[in-house]
């Protein structure tokens, strides 16, 4: 891995990143109250969107296409999922969330999850921009959650109860649950057969039963995980990015960060990694 480009995307700390489905556009949010739309090939910002009054910043981003994103932002009196295009706010969606809400969408962009409310995580039909159910008992502000690539299941890891749970999104019922030692990031394998969690060590489990497949003690407490290819897991901490082999958990590559990472993203095909910092710079790595 090498840094191929450094893009000055914001004038303040970068708080969220997301690649568009085709990997050609990277969207970033920063504490300068804007979204930056960067062309990956040209390695520069090509559009900017103001996030409106109250000087908010994006807490989380989910790119639906190269032209529009779902996001949550803070501070804002109406803490909802919001739909932004390059030019403007398109819509505020659904009901209000807690202040530090997050939003995720599946790789096929059919299903979404957002949190939190006192009831749990909202399940979304992305095309209709409507909620279809609630996963109970989760707030989603500090809890971790990710959707399977096909949008039919989700895995969550509770911040307070440290419980790893696999959910069916149609019924909104838990399929299994495992108690872990801490909280941390989660991710799905591309084929949906495995999930990983990094509450302490990096652990891979069967998505059908929750049984452990392997663990890797060299990776622990990573705040960001992605599993874009069958044998390529990306585990990022504030100081390093590691590539882990999917079949056995072996660390095959490590990249030390010069600046403290504040946000991370991996393209859908796993070919590019984006790391942002407190100075508003986004580094593109591959």
Say if CB 275 and CB 236 are below 8 A apart: yes
> How large is the average pLDDT for residues 9-37?
97
Give the number of other CB atoms < 10 A from CB of residue 183. Answer: 22
Model confidence over 171-213: pLDDT tens digits? 999 999 999 988 899 999 999 999 999 988 999 999 999 999 9
Q: Are 30 and 12 in contact (CB under 8 A)?
A: yes
* Unique residue bearing structure tokens 């590559």: 253
Residue 166: predicted pLDDT: 97
- Looking at residue 141, its pLDDT comes to 58
Are the CB atoms for 236 and 4 separated by under 8 Å? no
Partner residues linked to 44 by β-bridges: 39
- Give per-residue pLDDT as tens, 79-117: 789 999 999 999 999 877 777 789 999 999 999 999 866
- Whichever domain contains 276, its CATH number is 2.130.10.10
User: Does the predicted TM-score (pTM) go above 0.85?
Assistant: yes
Domain that holds residue 120: 3-285
Number of domains in the chain: 1
As a whole-number percent, the residues of the chain with pLDDT over 90 amount to 82
Give 142's pLDDT tier (boundaries 50, 70, 90): low
User: DSSP for 89-130?
Assistant: EEEEESS---TT-EEEE-TTSSEEEEE--SSEEEEEETTTTE
> Can you tell me which residue has the tokens 């070919």?
271
């Amino acid at each position: 891995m090498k840094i191929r480009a450094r893009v000055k995307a914001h004038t303040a700390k970068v708080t969220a990143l997301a690649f568009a489905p085709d990997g050609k556009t990277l969207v970033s949010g920063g504490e300068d109250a804007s979204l930056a739309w960067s062309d990956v090939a040209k390695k520069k910002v090509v559009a900017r969107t103001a996030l409106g009054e109250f000087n908010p910043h994006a807490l989380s981003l989910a790119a639906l296409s190269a032209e529009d994103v779902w996001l949550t932002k803070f501070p804002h009196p109406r803490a909802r999922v919001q739909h932004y295009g390059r030019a403007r706010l398109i819509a505020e969606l659904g009901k209000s969330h807690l202040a530090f809400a997050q939003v995720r969408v599946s790789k096929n962009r059919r299903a979404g999850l957002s949190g939190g409310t006192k009831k749990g995580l909202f399940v979304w039909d992305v095309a209709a921009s409507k909620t279809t159910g609630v996963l109970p008992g989760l707030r989603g502000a500090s809890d971790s959650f990710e959707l399977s690539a096909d949008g039919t299941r989700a895995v969550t890891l509770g911040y307070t109860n440290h419980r790893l749970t696999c959910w069916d999104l149609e019924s909104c019922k838990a399929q299994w649950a495992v108690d872990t030692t801490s909280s941390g990031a989660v991710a799905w394998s591309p084929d949906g057969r495995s999930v990983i969690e990094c509450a302490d060590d990096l652990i891979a489990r069967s998505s059908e039963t929750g049984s452990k497949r392997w663990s890797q003690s060299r990776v622990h407490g990573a705040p960001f995980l992605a599993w874009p290819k069958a044998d390529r897991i990306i585990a990022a901490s504030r100081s390093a990015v590691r590539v882990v082999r999917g079949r056995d958990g072996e660390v095959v590559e490590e990249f030390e960060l010069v600046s403290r990472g504040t946000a991370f993203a991996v393209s859908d095909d796993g070919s590019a990694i984006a790391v942002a910092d407190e100075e508003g710079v986004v580094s593109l790595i591959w």
